[in-house]
Amino acid sequence: MQSAVLTVLKVIVEGKDVATADGSIIGYLRNQDINLPTDTYNSETREIALYFPNKDGNKLVMETRTIKVTDQQPLAQYIINELIKGPRKQGTVSTAQQGYRTFECGNFG
């Protein structure tokens, strides 16, 4: 069995594409696009919606979480970390299999 390699990522927050500070839509990100250097450290809490399969595997169940994010790590990394943690709601199952590790979203260029 061959494992898949993530080559692009598109993050949607609250049903909308992520935009830059000037309002430009970011769209699909490649590994070199994900983490831009900053010279300030800002943090905020964000509400994100995650979707996990129900126990029968025939529907997705939305789970809302409030997370603390900083500008030192891309939002995609926080979302992926929460997905790997798995669901908190009864009747839902995790899509992450045992042995998954968190990978870094960062500036690899």
pLDDT tens sequence across 63-103: 999 999 987 788 888 888 888 888 998 888 887 655 555 55
Whole-model pTM? 0.53
Contact 93, 55 (CB under 8 A): yes
Provide, rounded to the nearest whole percent, the portion of the chain with pLDDT above 70: 71
pLDDT at 101: 54
pLDDT at residue 23, rounded to an integer: 81
pLDDT, the chain, mean = 77
